[in-house]
Every structure is written in structure tokens, then in C-alpha cells.
Structure 1
């Protein structure tokens, strides 16, 4: 059942404490957040999702929860020190590195590696997002210096991202591992830029300038001016071709929170317009991308929240408020938000196939609740 069928009423004010409590209940004592406690494939903690969840807790007045997550990542990175150093040495030599040799994107809740999940492991976005979230955590707390206890892991992640940001890897949806993705580069940019400013590292700001230039040169549609979903190397030097010419709603990250482009930048404005034209459903939700087949291509709570956030940054408060209202309507009778909901354009046959395979879409999804909290915070602050 989705929000359009409900006969109860819940408000954003009521959903706020429910969302925070669900996140707290589903945070492991070691600090990792369960992506979804009732969906077997999501019984892990992703660095990307977790960093956004932790940031939501920071802005919602729950800094202890956020601190526990960032500190949960710290020993995971330190445990990988030898592995990271070897990868960097091989990179310097120009050796070929297989995707399975890179760091993982998600971990068991107690910090152990996940060796059995079916989805692609080599994703860089989570490591960039962790750096960004960490700095935001310190900034919100009024800290001006990096604690020594976490400095080594930060340095390892920074060096890892600086070396491999141009390496094709899986996107935030665990897809297209042979390609490069704007949202992944946005996360890397955001993390390196945050550390660069916090620690006075001008060299990292120079890397960020290179990443931005790379996006402009290789990821902008040549005729339409929006950021495409993905590109792939041609293996004829440093040339690339479009891997998927449509737009992905995760491109909103280029604006908020990572601010690669301001909302009124021509590239960002064209990208937002393309998302509105291609991915906004008739009732106001936001889909991932046009050819999405996961559960028939539903509208995602977290992406709708992101659209609201970017709309607010664009001076479109009404659109942001409508996005929040749409999200609230999707809550079930317990105030739980799903990962996605079906809509008028959903492929019902494909949707039924996923229902038969995995059951209903993941509910409650902690990332959905987190982005509701962020959008609500942006609207009321």
C-alpha cells in the first residue's frame, strides 16, 4: 500500500521523531547503520548511505549517532592500510588492477567484510561521502581541527581517491561497473574539497578543479547541455564515449550537497530541467532513470527529497514543499518510508516479477528517512 491509498494522516512534524527513532533503533552498537532491517539484501551498512544518514542525524540534533557511524568506519579503513598501500604502489607502477581487488562499498554491521552479496563492490562514492560527512560533523560541532585518532584513515582515503577517481566503477545503484558516473565524481569532489578546506590542503582543491573540468569536458551532453548518466572509456587513450545518454536523478548531488555546480549554473540548470521532464512522475515523485527496471522503475523517496533540496537551492520553495508533502504521503501506518513506490508509469509486469523474487520494496529504508529529515531541516531552518 502506498500513500495514495492510506486513510490515516501523518504530518512532517510527526514523521520527524519517527524517522530519527527508526534510524537509532537500526544502528548497530558498533556504529554501522542497517540499510533496511526487513530486507535481506540490505542487511549491511554502506559507506555512502551511512554517511548521508549520519549527516541527517547531525542536522536533526543527534550528533552522537553520527559520531558513532564515522568512528565505525575508522577502524575499517585502518584495517585496510596494507591493502591500500599496495594498491597505490601498483597504481604508481601502472599495473592493471582487477575490480575485486579494490576496497568494498559495504560491510557487515560489525565492520567485517561482505564477501557474499551479489552486487558490485568497487564503488568510490562512499569513501568520498564519508570524508564530506566527517567534515560536516566537525563543522556542525564547532570543531576546527581533525582529531589525531582519525587522521590516518582520512589520509588513506584521500590518497586512495586521488589515485583512482578516473577508474570506472559501479554507480550508486550498484550498476554499470565499466563506466564513470557524475554522482560518483560529485561524491569524490565533495569529500576532497571538504578535507582540502578543513585541513588547508590546496593540492586537494586542485584535484577538485580537475574533476570538475573532467565532468564539463566528458559528461555534458553535446547538444542538450545536461549531465548524462554515464560515460565509458574507449580504450584509445584518454577518450570517452557516452555510456547512457539520458539523465540520472543522482546527478542532483552535483548541486547539493557537494556544490560542484551552483543551481543556476547552465549545466546544472539543464540537468534539473531534464530530470523534471524525464523523471518526475505525474504525482510528484522522482524516478532514478528512464530505463530503470528495478521494481518497474518506481519513484524513490530519497531522490524526491533531493529534488526538493535542489529546488530550494534554486529558489523554488513551492516545489520543495510539494516534494516534502509527497514523501510524507508515502509513509505507512507505522510512519515507515519505503525505498520506492509504484506510480502511473511503472511497468506492472516487471514490478510483479520483482515482487515474486524479493517481496515488496525495502521498508523502512533508513536512507529514505534520512533524506526526509534533511529536506525538512532545509525547509524549517
Structure 2
């Protein structure tokens, strides 16, 4: 299905609508609900989703909204400082810490642990929060000391467990070490160091951990490519895999595991485009059966952000326009659309299980703000 591209005026209106949706739905305590009406997400917020949403709001210039989110995230981290200290102590003496003892992936809107079962050991969100809070503070001259105790807690947690197998962005495959997760952890640790609030000993540990994570991602997280072109190395979905996942684009922009324009970055983006991008709409991965494996507006924006950084402004605009064209009549963006399903036979089972696709998904709206502002800042 080819969606009509919005004009310049419509693009600006839809981007402004994204800001309005996020602002209206932000919880009074600062959390960004993942999706206010979707059955499985209602009442919960993720550090992963929220960090990208906060980055979008910060870039848009809504400093108060981003501040409030970071205050919320800082509270939930400092509230769990003793829990992190216990994890760190066990890890230091080689004692196995079970996944069930780790910090949650999602939280209630008031910052409590959830009461329902979830795929709950993921480290990416903690790295993403460190990256997002440092970027926001630097962008708007907000003293990072405001969040320094929480930065220390998140840093300690990632130093201790950031390279362990855990669930990926999509809350799958807890048995693997995921390359996009490593990229987020590394970026977060380096951001914490760059922010200048860590004590010298903690900063040293963070740098050393970032180097370990980087080494893991750039060795085990790289495949030699398809047999037809064995020299075409690209990043892989997890360490030891040769699969492609759209989240791998984040390893280039914004997390910088590999430099923009490098052969590895170029080959990775080309693999995502070849395997997962259809007419500007980007799938998560080839084996995706969630709601039949549709295309995700937030991933179209992520790939577009990378295309812009690599010098392809037209490609970035095309992907933003595709994402904007998925909006409902009210301007709400979904989690995914069924334009091009990879596994259509699975769609009905998810509709029966969880109901209609999450709409609005605040992460989609946050990514629209990120790509819109990146395009407006690009001098080309």
C-alpha cells in the first residue's frame, strides 16, 4: 500500500500534533504512558519509550516536559538505589544474580514496579535514559547535578549487568546479548562520564565497562553478510546471529557504536533497507509475527534519522512522510500498520489477545518530533 505524502504545511501540522498528543497525555508525575488505551500497555511507562519521547520533546523545545520526565525517571532510580547496590555487590564477588532480581523494564505511572507479569529484564532503557538526560541537560543548559544521584545509580547498574543476556527492544530472546542493547548501554555510560557528575572512581569504571560493551558489539555483534557477498559485514540482531533488526540503526544514530558513513554503518543501514524497508515503512525483523509483522512508524523515523545523518535528506523526508501518513483522522500515530504484513496469518490471534493495535503510541510521536527537528536543523 502506497500512502499519500503530506505537503509541507500538513507535515508541520502533524508534527505539532505529535507534540500536543505527548503533552496532553504526560502523567502529572512526569511519566510518558506508552499508550493510554492499549490493553497490554495501559497504566505503564518504559524508560526506553520515554527516553526517545523526552528527546523529541527536548528537541522541540518543551523543556518543562522533558524535565518532568527526567525527574520521574530519577525518582524511580534513586528509590531503587539499595536494590542496585545489592546487585552490584553480588556481581562483584561473582555471585549469580537471577533475572528476576533485576530492575523492571516498565513501571506504573507513579513509578512503582508493575504487578502483572512482563518480560522484565532489559538494560537498554537505562542506557537510553543516561543518554537522553545528558543530551537534554547539555542542549538547554540544565545543570545535570539535578539528576546526579540517579545518574550514579543507573551507571552502577549498567557497569554490573550491562553486558549480560537480556530481553531486546521487542521483549524477546532473553537468552541472547543484543547488539542494539549493547549500543544503548555503551552510549549511556559514555554520556554519564561526559556529564561530569560521576566521582572519579565511578567514571573510571563506567569508561572501562563502555569499552567492554563496545568490544562485544563490534566482535560478536558483526556478521560477515550473505554468502553471495561475504565481505559485506554488517551489525547483527544479537551476538552470534546473522539476522537483521531495524533497531540496529540506533547503533549508528543516535548511539554511535559505529560512526556515520563508516563501511559497517553503511552496510548495516543497507541491510535494514533491503530486508525490512518497504516503500518507507520499516518492519522490526523478518520473523516478526506480532500483529502479523507490520510496519512501524517509529522505525521509519529512526531509519530516516540515520539517512539524514548520512547525507540522504530526500530519503529522510520520504520516511518521515510515510510515518506521518499513518496518522488517524485525529492525528494519532499507531505502533504499527498492516499495509505490508510479513506473516498475515498471525494478525488475528493478536487482535483476539490484546485488541486493536496501540494507538496512539507516544514513542511514534516522539520519533516524529526527533526526525522533524533533525530535518529543520540540517543545513543541507
Aligned to 2:217: 215
Aligned to 2:276: 279
CA distance in structure 2 between the aligned counterparts of 1:52 and 1:341, rounded to whole angstroms: 20
What are the ranges of 5 or more consecutive residues in structure 1 without an aligned counterpart? 232-241
Aligned to 1:19: 18
Does 196-205 or 19-28 show the bigger shift? 196-205
Aligned to 1:247: 244
Deviation at 1:34, TM superposition (A): 0.7
Among 226, 234, 237, the residue aligned to 2:234 = 226
Structure 1 residues 345 and 210, CA, compared in 2 at 3 Å: closer, same or farther?
same
User: Contact 2:165–2:174 at 8 Å: present in 1 too?
Assistant: yes
User: Contact 1:6–1:332 at 8 Å: present in 2 too?
Assistant: no
Deviation at 1:210, TM superposition (A): 2.6
CA distance in structure 2 between the aligned counterparts of 1:209 and 1:348, rounded to whole angstroms: 42
Deviation at 1:334, TM superposition (A): 0.4
Structure 1 residues 141 and 124, CA, compared in 2 at 3 Å: closer, same or farther?
same
Aligned to 2:308: 312
User: Contact 2:4–2:325 at 8 Å: present in 1 too?
Assistant: no
Cα offsets for 1:41-94 (capped at 9, x unmatched): 112110111111011100001110000011001121111111111111111111
CA distance in structure 2 between the aligned counterparts of 1:166 and 1:203, rounded to whole angstroms: 14
Aligned to 2:79: 79
Once the two structures are superposed, the pairs formed by residues 1-381 of structure 1 within 5 Å of their partners are 4=3, 11-43=10-42, 44-117=44-117, 119-143=118-142, 145-147=143-145, 149-199=146-196, 201=203, 203-222=205-224, 223=230, 224-231=232-239, 242=240, 244-281=241-278, 283-381=279-377
Cα offsets for 1:10-35 (capped at 9, x unmatched): 81111122111110111111111110
User: Contact 1:124–1:169 at 8 Å: present in 2 too?
Assistant: yes
CA distance in structure 1 between the aligned counterparts of 2:99 and 2:305, rounded to whole angstroms: 34
User: Contact 1:3–1:331 at 8 Å: present in 2 too?
Assistant: no
Structure 1 residues 3 and 50, CA, compared in 2 at 3 Å: closer, same or farther?
farther
User: Contact 1:10–1:328 at 8 Å: present in 2 too?
Assistant: no
Question: Number of paired residues?
Answer: 365
Does 47-56 or 344-353 show the bigger shift? 344-353
Deviation at 1:206, TM superposition (A): 3.7
User: Contact 1:308–1:324 at 8 Å: present in 2 too?
Assistant: yes
Cα offsets for 1:276-325 (capped at 9, x unmatched): 110011x2211000000001111111100001000001111110010011
Deviation at 1:146, TM superposition (A): 2.8
CA distance in structure 1 between the aligned counterparts of 2:104 and 2:358, rounded to whole angstroms: 22
Q: Provide the secondary structure at the position in 2 that maps to 1:306.
A: helix
User: Contact 1:3–1:332 at 8 Å: present in 2 too?
Assistant: no
TM-score of the two chains, using structure 2 as the length reference: 0.91
What are the ranges of 5 or more consecutive residues in structure 2 without an aligned counterpart? 225-229
Aligned to 1:237: none
Cα offsets for 1:114-156 (capped at 9, x unmatched): 1304x3100101111111111011111124x532x53222111
CA distance in structure 2 between the aligned counterparts of 1:332 and 1:346, rounded to whole angstroms: 22
CA distance in structure 1 between the aligned counterparts of 2:286 and 2:266, rounded to whole angstroms: 19
Q: Provide the secondary structure at the position in 2 that maps to 1:41.
A: coil
Deviation at 1:8, TM superposition (A): 12
Deviation at 1:345, TM superposition (A): 4.2
CA distance in structure 2 between the aligned counterparts of 1:7 and 1:52, rounded to whole angstroms: 24
User: Contact 2:280–2:318 at 8 Å: present in 1 too?
Assistant: yes
User: Contact 1:10–1:335 at 8 Å: present in 2 too?
Assistant: no
TM-score of the two chains, using structure 1 as the length reference: 0.91
CA distance in structure 1 between the aligned counterparts of 2:57 and 2:340, rounded to whole angstroms: 33
Deviation at 1:203, TM superposition (A): 4.8
